[in-house]
Amino acid sequence: MWINDGLELEDEQRSLRVHASTVDAGSTDRERILLVRRRAALQIRYTAWKSRSPFEADNQNDSDVEDDDMDDDFKDIQLPLPFRLADDGTEVTRELRRLEKALRVGQADDALKQLRRALALQLVLLRDASVKRASKDIACAASRYKAAYRVLEILGLSPDIRRFDVLTNDDITIAHVFDSERGTGRGYQTRDISWIWRMEGLGAGVRDNDWLKEVLRVQFLDAKTTLDRWKEELILTVTELRRTADYFNWMSNFWARRVVKSRTRGERAHGSSMRVIFTELETKIRSKLT
C-alpha cells in the first residue's frame, strides 16, 4: 500500500506540473489560489506518506529533512521509492523492490492504454476545447509511461515484460493507424505505425478499417456502463429511502399503541411526542420519493 500510494503521488506530481504550466501572468486570482491550495494539500499528503516509509533510515531522517521538503515545490520533489534507494541486501528491501516492479508493470500497461485512448480522442474530436483536453491527457499518459519504463530499466526488464520499449516523441502519433485508404489484404505493412499500436493484442486491430469505430464503440460502452451503474445506485437509494420511511411508519404506530395503553399522563405525553416525531420523519422521507 505504501508503494502504491507513492505511485499515486507521482501521478499527482505529473498532473500538478501540467496544472502549473497552465497558470501564467494572464491567469485569474482564483486559478492561482486553486493551484496554491492543491500544492499545499499534496505537500501534506507527501509528508504523511514519507512518515510511513518502511525504511528505518528514512524514518530517522524525516525530522531532519521535513522542514527542507516543506520549502520545496512538491512537483519537483523526488519521492524516496525503493528503486531510488540503495539495495542493502535485506529481505525487506528486496521484497519492496519486487513489489514496486510488479506495480510499475501495471503502471506501464495502464499508461499505454490511456495514451492510445487519448490519441484516438485527439483524432476524432474536432473542437478546440476537446483537442486541448486530449493533448493534456496525452502529455500526462506519456510522462507516466516514461517514468514507469525508467524504473523498470533500473529494476530489470525481464523476458516476460519485453513488450515495453523506449517512448520517443515520434512514437506518440496517430499517423497511419486509422487510414481507411490503405489496403488490408495480405502484405499489409505496419512498420510505419508507432510500436504502441502494434503491441500484443493489437495486430488484428491495426489491420481493420473499422478500428476507429471500435474505439468509439468502446467509449460508448464505457459511458453506458457508467450510466447503468448510476441507475442501479438510484434504485438502491430509492429502495433504502422506502425502507426508512416504512420503519418510521412502524415506529409511529408503535408509539401510537403505547399511548393507547399508557396509564399515566407522563407516558401519554411521551408517547404522543415520539409518535409526532416519527410521523414527521416519515412525511419528509415520503416527500423526497414523490
In this structure, the answer to whether residues 41 and 102 fall within a common structural domain is yes
In this structure, the answer to whether residues 143 and 281 fall within a common structural domain is no
In this structure, the answer to whether residues 154 and 223 fall within a common structural domain is no
Select from 118, 145, 171 the last residue of a domain.
171
Q: What are phi and psi of 217, to 5 degrees?
A: -65, -40
In this structure, the answer to whether residues 20 and 116 fall within a common structural domain is yes
For residue range 112-122, what is the model confidence (pLDDT) as tens digits? 888 887 777 77
In a domain, 241, yes or no: yes
- Give the Cα separation of 121 and 182 in Å (integer): 21
pLDDT computed for residue 42 by the predictor: 86
In a domain, 181, yes or no: no
Length of the chain measured in residues: 290
Select from 120, 153, 171 the last residue of a domain.
171
The lowest-confidence range among 14-18, 70-74, 207-211 is 207-211
- Give the Cα separation of 89 and 77 in Å (integer): 26
Q: How confident is the model at residue 199 (pLDDT cuts 50, 70, 90)?
A: low
Q: How confident is the model at residue 277 (pLDDT cuts 50, 70, 90)?
A: very high
In a domain, 224, yes or no: yes
In this structure, the answer to whether residues 132 and 223 fall within a common structural domain is no
- Give the Cα separation of 44 and 39 in Å (integer): 9
Select from 171, 197, 222 the last residue of a domain.
171
- Give the Cα separation of 242 and 135 in Å (integer): 46
In a domain, 115, yes or no: yes
Structural domain count, the chain: 2
Contact 123, 212 (CB under 8 A): yes
pLDDT computed for residue 64 by the predictor: 46
Q: What are phi and psi of 161, to 5 degrees?
A: -125, 30
Tell me the CB-side half-sphere exposure of residue 17, using CA atoms within 13 A: 14
Residue 139 CB partners (closer than 8 Å, separation 6+): 18
In a domain, 282, yes or no: yes
Task: Say what percent of the chain tops pLDDT 70.
Answer: 76
Q: Is the pLDDT of residue 185 over 80?
A: no
In this structure, the answer to whether residues 57 and 129 fall within a common structural domain is yes
In this structure, the answer to whether residues 159 and 218 fall within a common structural domain is no
- Give the Cα separation of 85 and 177 in Å (integer): 41
Q: How confident is the model at residue 131 (pLDDT cuts 50, 70, 90)?
A: low
Q: How confident is the model at residue 207 (pLDDT cuts 50, 70, 90)?
A: very low
The lowest-confidence range among 28-42, 148-162, 185-199 is 185-199
- Domain span at residue 147 reads 2-171
Sign of CA dihedral 51, 57, 60, 65: negative
pLDDT computed for residue 110 by the predictor: 85
| Stronger pLDDT, 220 or 152, i.e. the higher one | 152
Joined grid coordinates for residue 34 = 486553486
Q: Is the pLDDT of residue 130 over 70?
A: no
pLDDT computed for residue 129 by the predictor: 55
In this structure, the answer to whether residues 145 and 221 fall within a common structural domain is no
Q: Cα torsion at 95, 84, 103, 52 (round to 10°)?
A: 70
